[in-house]
Structure 1
Amino acid sequence: MYPILIEFGFFKIFTYGLLVATGFLVAILLASSRAEKEGLDSQKVLDLCFYVMVSALLGARLLYVIVEYRYFLDSPLEIFKFWKGGLVFYGGLILGVLISLWYLKRNQMPMWKTADLLAPSIALGQLIGRWGCFFAGCCYGKKTDVAWGITFTDPRSLAPLEISLHPTQVYLSLNAVFIFIFLMWLSKRKVFDGQILWSYGILYSIGRFAIEYFRGDDRGFPVEQVLSTSQFVGVFI
């Protein structure tokens, strides 16, 4: 695809980094615009989003480095070049949740109500960010003969070249589209605080668990060669 969107000499804009940043921005705007309607302080929500964004990036990158440790042992400086691609969502989720709990307690914000506000924003950010994965070639699928298979040709892509692959990045984005629409619908009909967050967790885990079987990239530390790292985490979520 197009891992580098714009390039002028040494100046480069990586498509992955741009779309991930766009996903975060749109997600934050959605959360802040809905905050007061949900009876929450919009400024505190914005501050929380900043903490979540930073911690999610760090956690997602850290888990990716752990999973791909063999590569980074040979190229340690690549650890810091996250804009090229290489984030594991569950790593960001875990660290983001921990930092969120700290922030919510410190600022005396209602945990479940705030979590319900943020859940649709997470799905919205994912559906945009996954296209960054698509253009960078990370999170690629297994070899396939299906009509909608995609072939990467750019040598800077992270995916194998000249082979038809399952577009798992698109599968993940479409899964996020469904989750986002459902959560926005459910938000107007929820019966208890926490319902939106739990619905997100269940739906995302089911979709991610299924899509993992179509992934062709390194899936981390497989459990008895059956479950990938993400599937293993998804089972607990």
Structure 2
Amino acid sequence: MEAVLAKIDPIAFELGPIPVHWYGIIIASAMVLAVFLAVNEGQKRGIKEDTIYDLLLWGLPLALICARLYYVIFQWQYYRVYPSEIYRIWDGGIAIYGGLIGAFIVVLVLCKRQEISAWLMLDVVAPTVILAQGIGRWGNFVNQEAHGRATSRFFLQRLHLPEWIINQMRINGVYYQPTFLYESVWDILGFILLVSLRHRLHLFKQGEIFLAYLIWYALGRFFIEGMRTDSLMLGALRVSQWLSLLLFIGAIIVGVWRRRNDPALAWYLDAKD
């Protein structure tokens, strides 16, 4: 008979009557790290520290609202029955794509008002965003959500996963594919790739680090999303797969079009403090 350890409690600790969830701690930690790295790179590219903080001040609330709205809209059959749970964001249930849409809008508005290149700003923050996404997936792990189809303990052991991960993927007596882990690894690899290449001379024009981020993230998300069981279908594919496909193709088209039609595009490294 296999020994099964107790699963991870989603509540880390309590401050009086207020429960503090691991989900929130993980998301907040990812954001702090992302801002630190963005500020450091932004200063090298001539973007003031206060501008990054302004982006956080306006972008984070709108990103969270849009991420929750996106999730609720596509899970409306549930929330129309339980409307009081719509605001319970600490229990999980935010959609990355919704958050990206909200943050993208804030970047465009902020950069226009402060007369900063939106492409440059997107280049600076893109690697830190994908890192935060990779870290944030561990909040899904603690909440036992965003998993894949049912599998066996033997399959998980063959992935050489530690017991505490295998045990957490046991939900109501059934083991599931750790799709949260697949996406986390893919995102962190994307971060390493982007930060390793972005300072190479004559490699990236302004805007192309952001486009590379979209291509990398969308490619991985398309296949990983197909393994999940908790997302909405739209025809032959899931909603997030359609959006991933659109972003993947769109980013390539925009990148090629900019190179061909604007030979005067500035290099990313031309922007200096």
Same fold (TM over 0.5): yes
Question: What's 1:192 paired with?
Answer: 205
**In structure 2, how many angstroms separate the alpha carbons of the residues matched to 1:198 and 1:122?**
13
Superposition RMSD on alpha carbons, in Å? 1.7
CA distance in 2, matches of 1:50, 1:173: 26
Q: CA deviation at 1:223?
A: 2.2
Equivalent residues of 1:151, 1:161 under 8 A apart: no
- Please give the TM-score of this superposition, normalised by the length of structure 1: 0.91
Where does residue 156 of structure 1 map in the other structure? none
Aligned to 2:12: 5
The structural deviation recorded for 1:125 is 0.8
Alpha-carbon contact 1:151-1:163 (below 8 Å) kept? no
Unaligned runs of 5+ in 2: 1-7, 160-165, 248-273
Query: Are residues 234 and 90 of structure 1, via their aligned partners in 2, closer, same or farther at CA, if it must alter by over 3 Å?
Result: same
1:48 equivalenced with 2:55 (yes/no)? yes
TM-score normalised by the chain length of structure 2: 0.79
Match runs of 1:72-151 below 5 Å? 72-145=79-152, 146-148=155-157, 150-151=166-167
| Bigger Rg, structure 1 or 2 | 2
Q: 2:251 aligns to what?
A: none
Distance change in 2, residues 1:192/1:22 (3 Å)? same
Write out per-residue CA displacement over residues 119-142 of structure 1, whole angstroms, 9 at most, x where no aligned residue. 011011112111011101121111
Letter paired with 2:222:
F
2:241 corresponds to which residue? 231
1:191 CA displacement: 2.9
Note if 1:203 corresponds to 2:216.
yes
Point out the more displaced range, 45-54 or 205-214: 45-54
Match of 1:167 among 172, 178, 188: 178
1:205-234 C-alpha deviation (Å, 9 max, x unpaired) = 0000010121122x12x221x211110111
Aligned partners of 2:30, 2:84: CA distance in 1, in Å? Answer: 26
CA shift, 1:9, in A, is: 6.5
**What secondary structure sits across from 1:80 in the alignment?**
coil
Letter in 2 for 1:185: S
CA apart distance, 1:201? 0.1
> C-alpha separation between the residues in 2 aligned to 1:75 and 1:152?
27
Q: Are 2:228 and 1:215 aligned?
A: yes
Report the CA distance shift for 1:106/1:6 in structure 2 as closer, same or farther (over 3 A). same
- CA deviation string 1:34-65 (max 9, x = no partner): 21111211211221122221111111100110
Per-residue deviation at 1:204? 0.2
C-alpha contact (below 8 Å) 2:141/2:168 kept by paired residues? no
One-letter amino acid matched to 2:227: F
> Which sections of structure 1, spanning at least 5 residues, go unmatched?
154-158
Kindly indicate whether the alpha-carbon contact (under 8 Å) linking 1:186 and 1:196 is maintained by their aligned counterparts in 2.
Answer: no
Task: Give the whole-Å Cα distance in 2 for the aligned partners of 1:52 and 1:232.
Answer: 25
Q: Aligned with 2:99: secondary structure?
A: helix
Task: Report the alpha carbon displacement of residue 160 of structure 1 after superposing the two structures with TM.
Answer: 4.2
- Measured in 2, the distance between the counterparts of 1:91 and 1:80 equals 15
Asked if the contact 2:23–2:90 (Cα under 8 Å) also holds between the matched residues in 1, the reply is yes
AA aligned to 1:167 is P
Larger deviation: 65-74 or 143-152?
143-152
> CA-to-partner distance for each residue in 1:143-173, whole Å, 9 max, x for gaps?
01323483548xxxxx842111001111111
Partner of 2:68: 61
